Amino acid sequence: MVEYNAPIRDYEFLFNEMFDVIPIVQKLGYDFDNDFLSMLTEGWGEHAKEVWLPINQLGDKKGLDYDDGKIKMPEEFKSAYSESIEAGWLSTSCKQEHGGMGVPIFFSAVTWAEIGTSTNMAMSVLPALSIGVYEVLVEHGSKELIDYFATNLATGKWAGTMCLTEPHAGTDLGIITTKAIPQDDGSYRITGTKIFITYGEHDMTENIIHLVLAKTPGAPEGTKGISLFLVPKFLPSDWVSGGVKDLSENLMSDDNGVTCSGSEEKMGIHASPTCVMNFDESIGWRVGDLHNGMPLMFQMMNRERLATGMMGIGLAEIAYQNSLAWAKERRQGRDLKGPQEPNESADNILVHPDVRRMLLEAKVNTEGSRALAAWTGILLDQMHSEDIEEAEMAEALVALFTPIVKAHFTDLGCESVNTCMQVMGGAGYCTEYGVEQFYRDVRISKIWEGTNGIQALDLAGRKITHNMGKNLRYLMWPLTEFIENNRTIPEMEEFNKPLHQGVRGLQQLTLLMIAEGQANPHFLAAGATDYCRYFGNVLLGYMWAKMAKISLEKSGDPFYDAKIASARYFFKRIFPETAGLAARIQSGYKNLMDYPVEMM
């Protein structure tokens, strides 16, 4: 029996005490207060626990049914999805004019995403993608497209996907071959094949709206020639004009030449279709300017990368809760200092240091990641501020944090779930307890939306030097200010001193990566993954130091005392790995690139 309780108290602490989010979003124009935020968090946690969690293992075991190009989902999934639509939980951040709640982005991007993933990762992917399509459409689509498609996407009546990858073109999207032929009526005919399309085909919704990357005739080579197109699975029969004045009769038919020729058999997320999609002269409409498809798709992809990072947190959290519950009941061996409960046949396994190590690593990394996620979510809202300086700061930090959130959170999520399974021994390997499913499910997160190695290259090769280093400066200002302000506070020394050392190390490593990387890109590429992890640890260190400071002022309360103890654990047991990471980065690239291929 899988257990789960949404981390509501932790979110209250983060949003109310650590970041004071309400004044921030009210300044942005939201009619939003603490009571509404609490109601949303508690309501979503309860709904997900009662409606999504009970069918999670069922979806894993039952999977989906692929037959002759059609995918049938478990009936329980369709019912749960419909119930969530009716309750309004799938459109919290969408505009009210499109049927959404119109709440700040941070709730859907962070709290909604974590709780949804914890309770049913396979289910949570569908609305996350649909809202991503909605956001790109609303910001860049024509009025006619927005007026017709936005509400159907926002409410969950229709679903959305993004179609990038082709059989020969994964990370290197510049070599895609999908074609978009312009028509006299303003539409395009899309032809090509896309692979690894999440929820590309299913029967959860009435229609599926695909955002497809394609090239028009005579387009420039590489990514500069890519445009973005909205292609529905079914052409809506009730859309008379859609901004296109002369629609031929075949435009009104249901069949739009969009077919699924396969669904992948996967290690995990068995109830989430992963499809091969074929577009055969499918009718679509351009979104945004011609040859500007990649920036628009990256806007959606970056939001999905943040959502993928939340998957690491969500599955680490539920794995931790279940392994801890199991550990509290499990008795094996005796405390090495002597029996703690001599009247029992054995002591509880929490007397063993290594069991505590595993559980605390999962707990502390997850809570630290959640804090950084909360900050990132707030920045997503601040990006839309009318205050130019505030918006610029937020945009710079989100750009910097995105590859770290995606890569570091999913690395830690996989490690944490794996560790939690280890805590439970053989029981953790058995399906009855659920944790082995969490491990199989979370493993895709390191691959999805650009592998973690690609995220590390993006961070080291682009994000730290972008805009003459302004991204990094926006981070260093609050970091160094925090360190300086706490330098003379005795209670903060155990947190502030290692953080200071870590920040100095980050500055030195960044300069090294830039200098050596310009001379030899292999140096930068060889150290990128370790640099990303180092950077992630520094950011989590900053979060833990801030949480410790708040908690020290309220010591004596179990919640805050636990935060102080967790901060100590982070800086004593997790943060020291930065020294080893620095040594690996400084070792350079020759030990990798000079290794003879024939000897591998």
What is the length of the chain? 600
Q: Which of 269, 311, 315 is nearest to 438 (CA)?
A: 315
Q: How many CB atoms lie within 10 A of CB 147?
A: 14
Q: What is the pLDDT of residue 489?
A: 97
- Alpha carbon distance 365, 409 (integer Å): 9
CA distance between the termini of the chain: 45
Residues whose CB falls within 8 Å of the CB of residue 543, separated by 6 or more in sequence, listed in order: 368, 371, 372, 375
Cβ proximity of 321 and 3 under 8 Å: yes
Q: What is the pLDDT of residue 223?
A: 87
Q: Which of 221, 449, 484, 577 is catalytic?
A: 449
Q: Mind giving me the DSSP string for 357-372?
A: HHHHHHHHHHHHHHHH
Torsion angle (degrees, nearest 10) of CA 41, 44, 49, 55: -150
Q: What is the pLDDT of residue 242?
A: 45
Cβ proximity of 192 and 279 under 8 Å: yes
Q: Which of 365, 366, 362, 364 is nearest to 424 (CA)?
A: 362
- Name residue 326's amino acid: W
Residues whose CB falls within 8 Å of the CB of residue 476, separated by 6 or more in sequence, listed in order: 503, 507
- Alpha carbon distance 334, 351 (integer Å): 8
- Alpha carbon distance 438, 120 (integer Å): 10
Q: What is 8-139's CATH topology?
A: Butyryl-Coa Dehydrogenase, subunit A; domain 1 (1.10.540)
Cβ proximity of 176 and 192 under 8 Å: yes
Task: List the domain boundaries for the chain.
Answer: 8-139, 160-291, 451-600
- Alpha carbon distance 81, 75 (integer Å): 10
Q: What is the pLDDT of residue 245?
A: 38
Q: What is the pLDDT of residue 170?
A: 62
What are the phi and psi torsion angles at 344 (to 5°)?
-100, 160
Q: What is the pLDDT of residue 580?
A: 98
- Alpha carbon distance 136, 360 (integer Å): 40
Cβ proximity of 481 and 473 under 8 Å: no
- Alpha carbon distance 204, 65 (integer Å): 13
Question: Could you give the 3-state DSSP secondary structure of residue 248?
Answer: coil
- Alpha carbon distance 403, 384 (integer Å): 21
Residues whose CB falls within 8 Å of the CB of residue 39, separated by 6 or more in sequence, listed in order: none
- Alpha carbon distance 211, 232 (integer Å): 9
Per-state percent for the chain, helix, strand, coil, to nearest 5: 65, 10, 25
Residues whose CB falls within 8 Å of the CB of residue 412, separated by 6 or more in sequence, listed in order: 312, 316, 365, 366, 369, 536
Q: The whole model's pTM is what?
A: 0.95
Q: Which of 394, 369, 381, 397 is nearest to 570 (CA)?
A: 369
For domain 160-291, is the CATH number 3.40.50.2020?
A: no
- Alpha carbon distance 27, 5 (integer Å): 32
Positions of the chain with pLDDT under 50: 241-252
Cβ proximity of 214 and 190 under 8 Å: yes
What are the phi and psi torsion angles at 311 (to 5°)?
-65, -40
CA angle, residues 217, 222, 223, in degrees to nearest 5 = 95
Q: Which two tokens stand for residue 304?
A: 């999905």
Which residues face 104 on adjacent strands? none
Q: Which two tokens stand for residue 88?
A: 């309004």
Q: Is 449 a catalytic residue?
A: yes
Classify residue 219 by its DSSP letter.
P
CA 148 to chain centroid, in Å, comes to 28
- Alpha carbon distance 464, 467 (integer Å): 9
